[in-house]
Structure 1
């Protein structure tokens, strides 16, 4: 289960407000600026209103709070909470991701399949996953979605703890009792034990094909010692189904879908690809002009190509940025002209999105310097290949041969000012 948003339990609201001052933040605004979040996000957190899952955990880390201890998990939902997220999945508003949906569906029907869905954050990976899983459930497949956002720091720092959490969580999601003690023997190592648990227990218990969807796997990639072994485990399962030996039959029941953000690459060695070379790779692209116009018309906006081009010049075809704009314009919160003027500012609707990228760049000065060069130029520029790869993986630039350019004017205008101020 993937919890898109979390909120502070009403019994802990006073506790989190005290934690703000205890950690040296006189005002909510100071905490927001330190985190590069909007004031509205921090205010919602402190008043028990839903905020994005990742933002919730980041605020808790900054305030030295245990997120699981203060979150209202009984009222948490794996359904979209914001109007924009609800519209992303609503049948009347959903824009089909051609050809990705059909490619995923065709691949997932093959015994022992492995699919990797990757893209920068907020490009629609989880939405695509949910659409595909919904379709295969209609074909009698059993599905299990496990998000690594639900794994706390103690799980992600120890391979044995991680492996046992992975197995136990899978059993729990399938409605099966925890039998780790019956199948776990430390002499055989974590991957061998995990394989035994799935082969001789979980897969043996179910009769229909099982789609195991792993979301937010980039969080595992942040921990190389765990990631290397876990990726070897997934590779091993993929290979067993193809061997043709006595164990292959039961592993043919399993279909793996691995979903991860490419933004993690900004902090990794680009010469190492954790799951390179196996399975079907789906790398989501941005919306086309036709898809943006289709989305606007589904929302009742009588947009011609001129309006579509105006919006896409500012935000490109990023599904989240486009959806957010259409939502606010449809609800008459803002006109297209006003949105275009305010977008690259701290008061604009994209402030949280932009601050997240700014924070990531500030943690990598060489990458920030390279992007500063890109946004201050008015033409395609050539930078070091490693920096170009990482900026493209973050969704900040378009890559053409050996040259890059900002993906949209939103990034050019916002970061041109911010990164210039940061430079010595």
Structure 2
């Protein structure tokens, strides 16, 4: 969704159009500008712009009947766009319908005149707004990637917009890094969906979790599996034997297979998304060859037109903990995205989407603060808490009291981590040091990276601290 589409949605729901100053604040906020920057670029006093902005978000909150703020208004508008009838889910369709109703051959979108078509008026009724707040039986159980049109996906501006722009560039590379269950795959799915909106763009998704263990027994077997998988997803018959030559090696054979077959056969761009790349880190011999191969393809795009067809999305949970030449690593080129935890404001917005009216306003933010103090802004932990609260099965006070115990809502989640730690003595001992110290602890590099990929610690330079109070309390008890 771009700014003009957002304004169309705005006109659909608001009783009165924005005035000129309100539209300036809306447009510049959409671009990510601060109130100070908006004031400087528009020639208004900063305090005046801040006041206009404050009143604007209150106005949108009243008309949308949900909390709207400067940080969440984009996600609110995206959800409203999804509530349009399916045949009106893109701007061109809305414009066409407007033209049919008005008989006009041309439509100009400006601050003086925008779409207010008759079909949209039916979207203003209260029932439509109330339908956005789920009842307990329609809540999504937090598990796996968040569905594409889910009410509960939280945008982390400007990350989505940056990735959507980058994936449209020839030969681009996007790297998404975050611990487990932080939303990496959910973002990857949205990038692929956005890419498919381009004419003829093909998308391929490879998850290394789906590969059999034997695939990692040799580089040759690994690359042949990789090429065959990509071929099938592009609806091309694998022709590995026509390009594979043991005399020139697996890496060159793989490159020739992409360059001479896959990219030749496909006329349009190919977006190749590699999920759970950190699994390859466990196989140093494969990792040390495959990752530089990705880097070489990215660099070839600057010289060879055919490689500009390939756009890469690399998703991983931690830094590569094998030694890679800085000039061969794919982790220092392209667009780097590190997913942050949710802020208190984002958690509050998500709580309201779950129908928790007590979470609104300053009082609601204060009530949610202890939850953030316990679990941080970890997306999965937050969603699990809000899901349970929305179902009315537990109070916030009881949830917080039981959270670090085996009887709490995180019991199964924590036991899963504990079982993994008990299989790896060195990780358990390292985490024990972290949770039993009141200050940060220095850990051996590979151990630190593995604990970070599990989401159990945060790294500050060479020092590690527990990711949240939940982990400190639970693992201090279980590992002592």
Do both share a fold (TM > 0.5)?
Answer: yes
Question: TM-score, structure 1 length as denominator?
Answer: 0.72
Question: Residues 181 and 380 of structure 2 are in contact (CA less than 8 Å); yes or no, is this contact kept in structure 1?
Answer: yes
The unaligned stretches of length 5 or more in structure 2 are 1-138
Instruction: Between the two structures, name the one with larger relative contact order (CA 8 Å, sep ≥ 6).
Output: 1
Distance 2:324 2:404 in 1: 34
Q: 1:299 to 1:398 in 2, by over 3 A?
A: same
The yes-or-no answer on 1:151 pairing with 2:211 is: yes
Q: Give the deviation of 1:392 after TM superposition.
A: 4.0
Pick from 396, 407, 410 the counterpart of residue 467 of structure 2: 407
Question: Residues 380 and 403 of structure 1 are in contact (CA less than 8 Å); yes or no, is this contact kept in structure 2?
Answer: no
Pick from 117, 122, 125 the counterpart of residue 176 of structure 2: 117
Distance 1:166 1:224 in 2: 17
With 314-323 and 138-147 compared, the bigger mean Cα shift is at 138-147
Distance 1:225 1:313 in 2: 42
Distance 1:319 1:192 in 2: 41
Pick from 131, 138, 142 the counterpart of residue 84 of structure 1: 142
Q: Give the deviation of 1:288 after TM superposition.
A: 0.7
Question: Residues 381 and 403 of structure 1 are in contact (CA less than 8 Å); yes or no, is this contact kept in structure 2?
Answer: yes
Partner of 2:350: 295
Pick from 442, 459, 463 the counterpart of residue 383 of structure 1: 442
Pick from 223, 228, 236 the counterpart of residue 288 of structure 2: 228
Question: Residues 288 and 322 of structure 2 are in contact (CA less than 8 Å); yes or no, is this contact kept in structure 1?
Answer: no
The unaligned stretches of length 5 or more in structure 1 are 1-80
Distance 1:184 1:139 in 2: 32
Q: Give the deviation of 1:360 after TM superposition.
A: 4.0
Q: Give the deviation of 1:251 after TM superposition.
A: 0.3
Q: Give the deviation of 1:175 after TM superposition.
A: 0.9
Partner of 1:197: 257
Q: Give the deviation of 1:380 after TM superposition.
A: 2.9
What do residues 288-320 of structure 1 show as CA deviations (whole Å, max 9, x unaligned)? 111111111111112111232121111110001
Question: Residues 176 and 314 of structure 2 are in contact (CA less than 8 Å); yes or no, is this contact kept in structure 1?
Answer: yes
The yes-or-no answer on 1:237 pairing with 2:292 is: no
Q: Report how many aligned residue pairs link the two structures.
A: 332
Pick from 375, 379, 397 the counterpart of residue 319 of structure 1: 379
Q: Give the deviation of 1:237 after TM superposition.
A: 0.6
Q: 1:403 to 1:199 in 2, by over 3 A?
A: closer
User: Tell me, what secondary structure is at the counterpart of 1:175?
Assistant: coil
Q: 1:131 to 1:404 in 2, by over 3 A?
A: same
Greater Rg, structure 1 or structure 2? 2
Pick from 286, 307, 319 the counterpart of residue 341 of structure 2: 286
User: Tell me, what secondary structure is at the counterpart of 2:160?
Assistant: helix
